[in-house]
Amino acid sequence: MHRVRVRVVEDALDANNTIAQANRADFDREHVTVVNLMSAPGAGKTTLLEKVLGGDGLPGVRAGVLEGDVQGSLDADRLAHLHIPVTQLNTDAGFGGECHLDANMVRSALPALPLADLDLLIVENVGNLVCPAEFRIGEDARIMVSSVAEGEDKPLKYPLMFRACELVIVNKLDLLPHVDFDLDRFNHHLDAVHPGVARMFVSARTGEGVEEVRDWLAALPARTGAPA
Amino acid sequence: MHRVRVRVVEDALDANNTIAQANRADFDREHVTVVNLMSAPGAGKTTLLEKVLGGDGLPGVRAGVLEGDVQGSLDADRLAHLHIPVTQLNTDAGFGGECHLDANMVRSALPALPLADLDLLIVENVGNLVCPAEFRIGEDARIMVSSVAEGEDKPLKYPLMFRACELVIVNKLDLLPHVDFDLDRFNHHLDAVHPGVARMFVSARTGEGVEEVRDWLAALPARTGAPA
């Protein structure tokens, strides 16, 4: 007799992970590297994308963006001038507006994504430092953006988010002279919750440090072992 | 035969509202006016409380603070020097750390609150522009803080939050010369989602406009009809 033992799904996150793996398989089949971009509201994710993907864009990388928002398409509209594929995903059909993207929401957007024409898909999550960190969506890497205007204590207050990502981008460096934010103390707090995590200090507004982000993203497919 | 018809509870928010009303009854019994203070992470809620409740505090009003955070007690520690009752409530016992306070969490803190010694309780919610707006906690009024560093588009992107509150405080006004934030456009967006809502423009860092917030809070018990 053929016997197979299947373990019962344990919780909601297991269901999410199952769907995330299905997304992952679809992305792999199309050779697409996926980045989950997270931050608090107003940390500058969209401005950063404008700068990183604008101009000549990422050399040799066909990039696209999936914009997650509670409602509206303001960010997608801002990226329209880049002439890259931008898809809007709204969460307001859920309970009062979901505060994060999960694997199933991203899966619902897959038919609208031109995966065959992309090397890199950047998913801009809903602005929130808590729940987005809890839901994998099938991504290769997670980046979080933290603005110096938010204060140097954020790694200690939202440790799961800072722990969940492969790269921390500290944005709005141009505001440093005008806010109470000590870079050394921030680094100390960040290392306390995620020792040695990669970090970059940028100003999406002035363009300072954006080149380094561009290089990191351009090299990501090779690093994550996505089939070329 | 005595017959009573009880309507079946419809959803999770009904349960929350039931508990919020129980909280409300307890606050009323102790003649405490309650404010739910909400914002994105790093908008400056705690600095604002330091300024509003520091110095001579609110004239004739015995104030206390309930600090909601995913984990840690950084904000409560910052308020310790004010010599007012500060109670810490952490949400990290929940699923990965709850991203908001709900009525039941606040209820669990009631035994730790010196309600008989308070006229005004300010509940500093978890930094988040989505879910906190969905859960009443038994408050008299809801205030949200929006920093100019977050951008003028926030009312359009998080309309439920801006619609849910009685007062919008625009903070970090000292950064206005250094960020792309047009006050007129912000007002226009705010009126689009919550026409005519009360608003104040302050800098908790420099103290500009804080007096107006103090006056609003000091007058709140009379306005909300809380028994004196």
pLDDT in tens, A61-119: 999 999 999 988 999 999 999 989 999 999 887 555 789 999 999 999 999 999 999 99
Alpha carbon distance A204, A212 (integer Å): 12
Given a contact cutoff of 8 angstroms between Cβ atoms, the answer to whether B166 and B202 are in contact is no
Q: How far is B126 from chain A (nearest CA, A)?
A: 9
Q: Which range has the worst mean pLDDT, A209-218, B19-28, B97-106?
A: B97-106
Alpha carbon distance B151, B148 (integer Å): 6
Q: Out of A126, A133, A175, whose CB is closest to B130?
A: A126
- Mark yes or no for CB contact A96/B205 under 8 Å: no
Average predicted confidence (pLDDT) for chain A = 92
Closest-approach residue (CA) in chain A for B181: A42
With beta carbons under 8 A apart, name residues in chain A contacting B70.
130, 157-160
For residue B25, give both structure tokens: 């009854």
Residue A226 has pLDDT above 60, yes or no: no
pLDDT in tens, B142-184: 999 999 999 999 999 999 999 999 999 999 999 999 999 999 9
Residue A228 has pLDDT above 70, yes or no: no
Given a contact cutoff of 8 angstroms between Cβ atoms, the answer to whether B218 and B119 are in contact is no
How many distinct helices (H) and strands (E) make up chain A? 8, 7
Alpha carbon distance B145, B163 (integer Å): 13
Interface of B with A (CB under 8 A): 40-42, 69-72, 74, 95-99, 126-131, 133-134, 147, 149-151, 153-154, 156-160, 172, 174-175, 178-180, 205
Nearest to A211 by CA among A51, A91, A68, A93: A51
With beta carbons under 8 A apart, name residues in chain A contacting B69.
157
pTM of the model: 0.91
Q: How far is B11 from chain A (nearest CA, A)?
A: 10
Q: How far is CA B189 from the centre of its chain?
A: 21
Residue with tokens 């309970």, as numbered in its chain: A95
Interface test with B, best of A17, A74, A131 (most B CBs within 10 A): A131
Q: What are residue B34's DSSP bridge partners?
A: B121
Helix (H), strand (E) at residue B24: helix B12-29
**A33-39 and A141-147: which strand pairing?**
parallel
